[in-house]
């Protein structure tokens, strides 16, 4: 069985697919724009676990990827990146515009694109219907931004800012403080998405009576 054949509908498909290609593109564009706005909104929500402020940005990435699916999720986070680089204040901090590519955190934002794709891929295999499977898939998606973000952060700190960079210092700054918050955000998404599916199924059953 091919990967394409194993795909199941995601939450965004509940919207329904229009009969014409033009209308389908309009629906997809609307979903992508909504995804950008959702991630931008959660990026401005912060809370503290320890001394470091944690934003809802990654939670937004996971939810958007799972709800929209791999292709539209990646498109939404690509648009999010481009909108931020164009100067709109959609990132977690106050900095936006082209200069943000020199920010230590820019690599994490780059990593949001494959992270949303992976969350969407798991959703397209129905992992988002059950909390335990959703949690596993969403944790996997949450790891991806670190794979790009941590090396990028180290490079910016060393080559642009001129700091002495050590492995321990990079891990202390960009990995260890975010493990627990990342798990909590994956858990929140793993409760939210299956609960939404349960609501959709309940509404569908009621409409068929």
Q: Mind listing the pLDDT tens digit for each residue in 84-143?
A: 999 999 999 888 999 999 999 999 999 999 999 999 999 999 999 999 999 999 999 999
Residues 6+ apart with CB under 8 A from 157: 104, 163, 165, 170
pLDDT tens profile 56-73:
999 999 999 999 999 999
Instruction: Flag whether the pTM goes above 0.75.
Output: yes
B/e letters for 154-185, b = 16+ CB within 10 Å, e = fewer, are bebbeeeeeeebeeeebeebbeebbeebbeeb
Q: Is 45 helix (H, G, I), strand (E, B) or coil?
A: coil
Closest CA to 150 of 162, 158, 140, 138: 158
Share of the chain above pLDDT 70, in %: 95
- Rounded to 10 deg, the angle between the 131-155 and 57-68 helix axes is 130
pLDDT tens profile 10-53:
999 987 667 788 888 999 999 999 999 999 999 999 888 767 77
Under the banding of pLDDT at 50, 70 and 90, the label for residue 2 is: very low
Residue 209 has pLDDT above 80, yes or no: no
Q: How far apart are CA 127 and CA 121, in angstroms?
A: 9
Under the banding of pLDDT at 50, 70 and 90, the label for residue 3 is: very low
Higher pLDDT, 16 or 145: 145
Query: Mean pLDDT, to the nearest integer, of 167-195?
Result: 95
pLDDT tens profile 64-98:
999 999 999 999 999 999 999 999 999 998 889 99
How far is residue 160 from each of residues 78, 101, 126, measured CA to CA in Å? Answer: 25, 11, 43
CB 61 within 8 A of CB 76: no
CB 71 within 8 A of CB 118: no
Higher pLDDT, 201 or 50: 201
Residue 1 has pLDDT above 50, yes or no: no
Under the banding of pLDDT at 50, 70 and 90, the label for residue 5 is: low
Q: How far apart are the first and last CA of the chain?
A: 35
Return the DSSP state at 101.
G
pLDDT at 22: 87
């Amino acid at each position: 069985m091919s990967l394409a054949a194993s795909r199941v509908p995601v939450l965004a498909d509940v919207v329904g697919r229009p009969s014409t290609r033009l209308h389908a593109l309009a629906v997809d564009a609307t979903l992508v724009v909504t995804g950008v706005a959702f991630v931008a909104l959660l990026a401005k929500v912060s809370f503290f676990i320890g001394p470091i402020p944690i934003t809802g940005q990654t939670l937004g990435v996971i939810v958007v990827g799972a709800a929209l699916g791999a292709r539209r999720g990646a498109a939404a986070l690509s648009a999010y990146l481009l909108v931020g680089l164009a100067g709109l204040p959609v990132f977690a901090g106050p900095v936006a515009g082209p200069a943000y590519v020199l920010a230590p955190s820019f690599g994490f934002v780059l990593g949001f694109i494959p992270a949303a794709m992976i969350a969407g891929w798991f959703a397209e295999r129905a992992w988002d219907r059950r909390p335990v499977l959703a949690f596993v898939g969403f944790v996997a998606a949450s790891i991806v931004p670190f794979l790009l973000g941590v090396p990028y952060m180290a490079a910016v700190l060393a080559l642009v800012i001129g700091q002495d960079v050590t492995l321990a210092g990079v891990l202390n700054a960009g990995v260890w403080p975010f493990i627990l918050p990342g798990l909590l955000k994956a858990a929140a998404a793993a409760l939210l998405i299956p609960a939404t599916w349960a609501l959709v199924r309940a509404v569908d059953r009621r409409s068929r009576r």
